[in-house]
Amino acid sequence: MTVIQADELKAFATELLRAGGFTHSDADQTADLLVWANLRGIDSHGVLRIPRYIEMIEQGVMISGGAVETIRETGAIVILDGGKCPGAVGMNTALERAAGLAAQHGVGWCSARAISHAGAVGYFSSALARRGLVGIVMTASKPLMSYFGAKGEGISTNPLSIAVPAGKGNEPILLDMSTAAVALGKVMAAKDAGKEIPLGWAVDRAGVQTTDPHKVAALLPMAGAKGSGLSLMIEVLVSVLAGNSVIAPVLLGRKKGGFNGLVIAVDPAAFGDSAAFEAEVAELKDAIHNLEPAEGVGSVLLPGEGSAKLSRIRHVEGISLVAGTVKNLIEVAQRFAIQIPSALAVSTRNA
């Protein structure tokens, strides 16, 4: 493992992305999203994605520097078209529009179609919660996961995040989950680390569960039919409603795929006293924390508390990166003649 400070990693990530074809603003937003994930221990959605993002720019799958256009606006609902923009850019734009609509209507629903991979969606929902809004965020993409009862890839790993404000100065309650047994990025992280994956994560081309991340042909849905059913409904809400279906066109051979996002912002003040709402959320937190831990469990945690604690630690002690990720980032830096941070350079010399 190599340890690097968050600010240094973000600066390096921004420089790599700029060299790889991102505009300065797009690179900065994307690097912030990736490092946020690394800080919280979601390394599957962190800087290991940079080589692939640059590859997507080169392939024209992702386009940086374009305008995110408003396609339709009706009351509290807005549909944006990102023109294949970086996911962070499209989702940040949707976040701002949804928050603005919530201020007007009490709720804002902003669809962002034709964007690119949006990373850890808890980044966006928690940003809304820090403004005192309830944030609900989903993204949808091409088939990556098996549909319950069927062979091969039939549905995506579509993630869902809900963040709830918990009072001034307190971390929001943050749920951030994939509809798969595990996010695809965790398989990528296992490849980088040279580790096997647990049974129950994925299957190979023969439809048999595998522990070899290099043999993964499709991920498995979480909780069987519940996971694939939830993913299907996210495809409807995020893609079909926005007029940019992904799954059916891919399965029917008409289209290669793509990415769409959805940000919903809800103002608790529209339901009554927002201070009373936050007080009741605090009471709910206390009630859960006061539950008696099961045998072998140190304490009962709410969604997001473990990753928030790790983020505080990594802000001080630095972010740990596995050797495979470091190697891949250094290869990109060498390709573009970018100076390698000393922490990563030392790791390379000691390898």
CA dist 321 and 253 (Å) reads: 39
Helix (H, G, I), strand (E, B), or coil: what is residue 39?
helix
Q: How far apart are alpha carbons 314 and 259 in whole angstroms?
A: 31
Separation of CA 326 from chain center: 21
Q: Which residue in this structure is represented by tokens 């989903």? A: 138
CA distances to 33, 101, 125, 308 from 311, in Å: 13, 31, 17, 5
Pairing of strands 107-115, 77-85: parallel
Number of H helices, E strands in the chain: 12, 11
Assess contact for 12 and 27: CB atoms under 8 A: no
Residue (of 72, 94, 70, 73) closest to 81 by Cα position: 70
Q: Which of 196, 221, 185 is nearest to 53 (CA)?
A: 185
Q: Residue 225 is inside which H or E element, if any?
A: helix 225-235
DSSP 23-90: -HHHHHHHHHHHHHHHHTT-GGGSGGGHHHHHHHHHHTSS--S---EEEEEETTEEEEEEEEE-HHHH
117 is an active site residue: yes
Catalytic residue among 24, 117, 289, 315: 117
List the one residue out of 49, 37, 8, 5 whose CA is nearest residue 307.
Answer: 37
- The secondary element (H helix, E strand) that includes residue 103 is helix 87-105
3-state class percentages of the chain: helix first, strand second, coil last, to nearest 5:
45, 20, 35
Beta strand 2-4 with 173-177 is: unpaired
CA pair distance 125, 228, nearest whole angstrom: 23
Measured from the Cβ of residue 257, the count of other Cβ atoms closer than 10 Å reads: 14
Active-site positions read 117
